[in-house]
Amino acid sequence: MTFVIKIAEINTRGEALIFDEKFFPYDLYLEEERDFDTLINNMNNFYHWCASRVLSLDRKYAKACQPDRQKDLLRDEHSGLSGGKY
């Protein structure tokens, strides 16, 4: 059985609805006001939050793969293979 909790909703104009604040991510800032500045800030904050989550996952993955890449490069050097692009 899967439960889905809808925490917030934001549309392409920056209009946000917050349904459940206790599960809201602490580093995401959205406001429900409708003035122009708030709508722009909502969009910027949402895009920034999404981008920061993607970067942190990429960095973690890159760190995990780095030792394997170093081993492959060393193996290629010792076997006489030219270093190709990865």
Instruction: Give per-residue pLDDT as tens, 27-68.
Output: 999 999 999 999 999 999 999 998 887 655 556 555 555 555
Q: Residue 71: left if φ>0, alpha if ψ -120 to 50, beta else—which one?
A: alpha
Cα angle: 48, vertex 52, 55; to 5 degrees: 140
Domain boundaries, the chain: 8-78
40 CB contacts (<8 Å, ≥6 apart)? 14
**Cβ atoms 18, 31 nearer than 8 A:** no
- The pLDDT, as a whole number, for residue 53 is 76
**Cβ atoms 39, 26 nearer than 8 A:** no
Quick one: what percent of the chain has pLDDT higher than 90? 41
Quick one: what percent of the chain has pLDDT higher than 70? 62
| Residue 70 pLDDT exceeds 60 | no
Question: Of residues 75 and 54, which shows the higher confidence score?
Answer: 54
Q: Measured in whole angstroms, how far is the alpha carbon of residue 39 from the centre of its chain?
A: 21
